[in-house]
Amino acid sequence: MMQRFPTQATVENPRYGQLIIGPPGSGKTTYCAEALKFYRELGRQVGVVNLDPANENMSYEPVLSVMELITVEDCMEHLKIGPNGALMHCAEYLADHLEDWLLPALRKLGATHNYFLFDCPGQIELYTHHTAMARVFERLERERYSLVTVNLIDSHYCSEPSKFIATLLMALNTMLRMSLPHVNVLSKADLLKKHETKLHFNVDFYTDVLDLKYLLDKLDDDPAMRKYHKLNAAICSMVEDYALVSFQLLDVFSTDSMLRLRNHIDKANGYVYKAGEEQTVNSLLACAVGAETEAARMEHDVRPYME
Ligand SMILES: Nc1nc2c(ncn2[C@@H]2O[C@H](COP(=O)(O)OP(=O)(O)OP(=O)(O)O)[C@@H](O)[C@H]2O)c(=O)[nH]1
């Protein structure tokens, strides 16, 4: 988790945003819907902003939606391009209309909301290669939002070593390119416990990303992957050298799991320093000293999802 410490501006005029990103189907929209209810219950002035121009099935009522500005469907029809090209076009269009659409609308909402969940599009190239979404996030930062990227990745990707390596590389690339406080999340963690995803190692091996040697050994078991041993070893070594990638587990339908994730997110975007609300002296102290012991973290964060 990359973490933010409060600046004078964020202390005086606190506004917060979670940028919910992740591959298609990883649970972004479901998280936004559940997090909206959850943070409202905590008393936060929260709203969801839909930034996905192809989000047909929003299970929440957004306070603002990019689909009022542009949709993938309209782009495909008018520009005669495919869905991926249309999504890139929409992202660029959004980035070009920050000053006359997104920011004025957010400023208006500022009268009643100071915490936004941004439901972002799922195409990962928007965060690993393309620059439009980075421009949007960077402009929001300059508008003094304390942002955190919440990168949801389906925990099913832990089931195969090759998929997990690709996940690590994607997560690291996104962290480096977005350069924002960041929390990586393995979503649908409840399915790990229900044996729907068979794992080669304990869950904490995947969350802590500490010793990838074992992962490489497993990759070599597959004859098709063995010939890429050097490439895989280089990727693992790079991920380990940066030592940035780790994961939190999330079952979006469990209040306890949402609370645990909230604690990580609040530390990352600096909300933990905001006075009042549900913050306690203990949580502030925990943040200041680097928080809970490894044993406590294992007990609460990881053990519930082990077989
Ligand atoms: N069991 C379980 N299912 C989940 C969880 N989170 C999301 N899902 C399911 O995963 C599926 C995909 O979730 P979405 O929220 O549509 O995923 P998305 O990332 O918004 O998908 P795109 O809009 O295609 O990018 C839905 O059927 C959800 O009900 C979870 O924590 N546990």
ipTM of the complex: 0.97
Which of 53, 244, 37, 35 shows the shortest CA–CA distance to 136? 53
Closest ligand 1 atom, residue 252 Cα: 31
* Mutate-to-test residue for ligand 1 from 20, 28, 30, 155, highest number of ligand atoms within 8 A of CB: 30
Instruction: Tell me the pLDDT tens digit for each residue of 116-169.
Output: 999 999 998 999 889 999 999 999 999 999 999 999 999 999 988 999 999 999
Closest ligand 1 atom, residue 121 Cα: 25
Which of 37, 17, 50 shows the shortest CA–CA distance to 253? 37
- Stated pTM of the model: 0.87
Mean pLDDT of 195-221: 85
Query: Domains of the chain by range and CATH?
Result: 8-211+245-305 (3.40.50.300)
Q: Which residues line ligand 1 (CB under 6 A)?
A: 22, 24-30, 55, 122, 187-188, 190-191, 250-253
Distance 104 CA to ligand 1 centre (A): 31
Q: Which residue, judged by its Cα, is nearest atom 8 of ligand 1?
A: 27
Distance 129 CA to ligand 1 centre (A): 24
Q: Which residue, judged by its Cα, is nearest atom 32 of ligand 1?
A: 188
Closest ligand 1 atom, residue 52 Cα: 23
Position 47 scores a pLDDT of: 97
Distance CA 23, CA 25 (A): 6
Distance 25 CA to ligand 1 centre (A): 5
Q: Is the pLDDT of residue 103 over 50?
A: yes
User: Do 116 and 145 touch, CB atoms closer than 8 A?
Assistant: yes
Closest ligand 1 atom, residue 250 Cα: 31
DSSP code, position 18? E
Distance 122 CA to ligand 1 centre (A): 12
Lowest-confidence region among 12-26, 30-44, 108-122, 282-296: 282-296
Lookup: tokens for 7: 């600046």
Q: Which residue, judged by its Cα, is nearest atom 7 of ligand 1?
A: 27
For residue 35, name the pLDDT band (cuts at 50, 70, 90): very high
Distance 7 CA to ligand 1 centre (A): 35
Position 200 scores a pLDDT of: 86
For residue 10, name the pLDDT band (cuts at 50, 70, 90): very low
Instruction: Tell me the pLDDT tens digit for each residue of 69-87.
Output: 999 999 999 999 999 999 9
Distance 231 CA to ligand 1 centre (A): 32
Contacts of 261 (CB under 8 A, 6+ apart): 183, 185, 248, 250
Position 307 scores a pLDDT of: 57
Can you list the positions of beta strands (E) in 103-252? 115-119, 146-154, 182-187, 248-249
Give the long-range contacts of residues 157-160, CB within 8 A, separation 24 or more: 157/186, 158/186, 158/192, 158/197, 158/199, 158/203, 158/206, 159/197, 159/198, 159/199
Q: Which residue, judged by its Cα, is nearest atom 29 of ligand 1?
A: 30
Mean pLDDT of 214-225: 87
Position 154 scores a pLDDT of: 95
Instruction: Find the length of the chain.
Output: 307
Distance 11 CA to ligand 1 centre (A): 34
Distance 28 CA to ligand 1 centre (A): 6
